[in-house]
Amino acid sequence: MVGFRTPDDVAYLADCLSSRETLDKYQIGFIYNAAAYLNTLEMMKSLQTKMFVPAHAAAAEDIADLAQYNIDKVLEIADKITGICQEPLCFEAILQKLFIGYGLVMDFKQYVLVAAPSALIWRG
């Protein structure tokens, strides 16, 4: 994840956060390092600049509320995963329970995008 601040004091945030509409529709985003992502969102809440331009939300002069909404969503999902993991389950069963809980469906291409990186992380 990378962001840039230009000399004219505009912060281009790339994939640093998603719009409320995106989060409400898809619920679950792809996050490689949740701790680093949460740190980035916390930092963005206090960042002062003339304009913020995220890739997945409208440009705005203040993004603190949106950053907090993203934080809340990550923590909500973490709580759901923690609850699901009260019993030993494989990745696919955890993912299935999470998707059923949110009423989501996934096609094969989406599954590959989610499952392949988790397999690589598991292998070290």
Q: What value does the mean pLDDT take over residues 99-110? A: 83
Q: Please choose, from the candidates 100, 81, 104, the residue with its C-alpha nearest in 3D space to the C-alpha of residue 25.
A: 104
* Band of pLDDT at residue 78, cut at 50, 70 and 90: very high
- The whole-number pLDDT of residue 114 equals 66
Q: Where are the alpha helices (DSSP H) in the chain?
A: 20-26, 34-46, 64-84, 91-102, 108-123
Mean pLDDT, rounded, of the chain: 86
Output the pTM of the full model. 0.83
Question: What is the pLDDT at residue 15?
Answer: 84
- Residues 28-73: pLDDT tens digits? 877 878 898 999 999 999 999 999 999 889 999 999 999 999 999 9
